[in-house]
Copies of this chain bind each other. A is one copy, B any other.
Amino acid sequence: MRAAIALLLTVGAALGADDWRDQGVIYLNHTPHAALHPVPVHAVELGPGFWHGRREANVERSIPTMLELLEAHGVVDNFRNTAAHNGKPHQGPLYTDSDLYKWIEAAAWSLQSHDNAALRKQIDDLTAIIAGAQEPSGYLDTYWSGERASRRFTEMYRSHELYCLGHLLQAGIAYYRSTGNRALLETGAKYADFLAADFGPGKQPLLTGHPELEMALVELYRTTGEKKYLDLAGYLLSGVETGRLHLRPSQTDYMFSGVPFTSRTAFVGHAVRAMYASSGATDYYAETGDAAYRRTLDTLWDDLTMRKMYITGGVGARAQGEAFGAAYELPNDQAYGESCAAIGNMMWNFRLLQVTGEAKYADVLERALYNGINSGMSLDGTLYCYRNPLASSGEQIRNPWYDTTCCPPNIERVLSSLPGYFYSTSRDGVSVHLYHNGTLTWHLEDGTGLRIAQRTEYPWKGDVTLAIDPAKADRFTLRLRVPAWSHAASLEVNGAAEPAPKPGAYAAIAREWKPGDRVTLHLAMDAAPMAANPRVESDYAKVAVERGPLIYCLEAPDQAAAVADLAVTSLAQPFQPVDRPDLLEGIVMLTHAGEAYEPPLADTPLYLPWAEAERRAAKPVELKFIPYYAWANRGSHAMEVWVPLGEAARSLRR
């Protein structure tokens, strides 16, 4: 067992050449301000269940077809042409390099679950092609080459030069952590070295017009131990170049960069940039412990979760600027909810979770993962959402390709690295963040080998059995996340009841664990009708249905009337779960009593006196809810997450 022979990790230990097998999605074993340390991706095998089909589709169809599409759209040729100095024009938008890097990252992580010599070969070939386009200085960007080379670092508010490097580093790190091959990592590090040498205070000014490089640099520091990368990340987050770069407030708002990160008090601007910047700032805090960062991160997290996050974990209300809206501005039909922004939300909360060990971050992570991210890829793995609205009148939302194809490989890297999000170790034990059939094969931080096998039908059912098998009897704390959505939970160890655990926290069981111990967690998995804060203009007197980690919706193919005419008639009766293995690759559908306006609302006036409006007629219908992630897999249809409470249901106290 590899885990059993791993070296005892000590904080501050020198980084050795063999460490790559120990490094997870982020590597925190030597990070001073992290309560938890993620396990490597390969340490977790995910078995049959909810994510199995998604992850199979990812490696069998999504990843292979995306490389074909990147080739077909000239994204790889951009590197070949730059290497050949043949003067052929760059194809696609200015950030296409990053799409290939993100694809490599996705492919690289997948090797830890599905090793694949052909895929390794593809990555090695691409690594050579990419390195061929790198200049002796280290600079590497196919768009800002040839005639555009003279404009490098002069348009950083839009240039994506540093954004592309960030993804190159993440790809190189992922491939290194999956194979030990440092070639791509070194290509990226060479570019980072060039920046560290020539840019910064007293040298040339630098700006992440699209934040991303910050977290990549911190991860490069974690991977190499070279502090200059951490310092460069700190410089980028410091926002000291507003003046030298003549940045306007509209630019620094949009970029969520260019002013001190620690001066932020609310989310504004481009949602993906803001999430990536916050992820980078969390990484920087974890290494430095700078209290100003922690205060800012807390303030921003409250702003997001109290005022600006969709119930799906999606973020970014506005199409204009792909941006955050004002507080409580969360339109449904017009929601932007870019897949990348939900992924950024997950990445940020994963980092906050590791830093603090607090379950509230895992709750947001899970919400984004199962809903706002998961909706972004079709069940067959070949069609992607860029926007993830919470209501639709049926326009096409899934496409195989976008010229700005940031989202598809981003979803692919989430799915291929997903095992790395399930467990963390800490000095005193191990934490379980997510539930799914599968097995952890790793070790405690005292070096004792540990195997945890989960058996569950999560998220369809709320029972999870965990076989806890340390290599030898050992005293440690097992922390099991009890999701906030679980209004009741119970816990047994070897058949004996533990005190009822508190939802929205980790249930900590400190004891001597022996091989063969069994823990059973029961999470109440009733469908819950949810209300939004009445300040959310778009959701007032409406209900969203949540069951376990899944948000539900009404989609046209299942309904007896137009989705826009439907209402819920009572919240007194529970939503009824119906197993539908035949539908959408297997779901639990929820049914509930409802009504449909008749005549359809589209035929009625825009404004009416209430005395007339309350006489609108409706016929009873059965409402059939499907999980939100599964919508738009049967063609393009009307859909709605927030369903109006009909006349009869509006007052709940009767």
Contacts and interface: CB of A to CB of B under 8 A. Distances in A.
Interface of A: 305-307, 309, 311, 318-320, 325-327, 329, 331-334, 391, 393, 487, 528-538, 540-544, 564, 567, 571, 597, 601-602, 604-611, 613-614, 644-645, 647-648, 650-654
Given A331-B331, A650-B650, A654-B651, A606 B305 contact: yes
Nearest to A318: B320
A602 B266 CA distance: 14
A333 B540 CA distance: 14
A51 to B, nearest CB: 24
A531 B607 contact: yes
A530 B331 contact: no
B652 A614 contact: yes
Contacts of A647: 651-653
A551 to B, nearest CB: 10
Closest CB pairs A-B (n = 7)? A650-B650, A541-B541, A531-B613, A320-B320, A651-B651, A614-B652, A529-B610
Contact of A306 (B391, B541, B605): B605
A540 B543 contact: no
Classify the interface of chain A: helix, strand, loop or mixed.
Answer: mixed
A393 B266 CA distance: 16
A533 B332 contact: no
A41 B567 CA distance: 51
Given A529-B611, A648-B651, 13 more contacts: A305-B606, A318-B320, A327-B393, A329-B334, A331-B331, A528-B610, A530-B607, A533-B605, A540-B541, A540-B644, A541-B650, A544-B607, A647-B652
A606 B653 contact: no
14 contacts: A306-B605, A318-B320, A331-B334, A333-B537, A530-B608, A530-B610, A531-B607, A533-B608, A534-B597, A534-B601, A541-B644, A648-B651, A650-B650, A650-B651
A644 to B, nearest CB: 6
Contacts of A329: 331, 333-334
Given A329-B333, A542-B540, A532 B654 contact: no
Contacts of A652: 610, 614, 647
Nearest to A642: B537
Contacts of A535: 564, 601-602
A108 to B, nearest CB: 36
Count chain B CB atoms within 10 A of each CB in A530, A531, A536, A602 and give the residue with the most.
Answer: A531
B610 A543 contact: yes
B607 A311 contact: yes
A318 B333 CA distance: 13
A53 to B, nearest CB: 28
A329 B393 CA distance: 12
Contacts of A487: 609
Nearest to A330: B606
Contact of A601 (B530, B533, B597): B533
A606 B651 contact: no
Contacts of A391: 537
Contacts of A334: 325-326, 329, 331
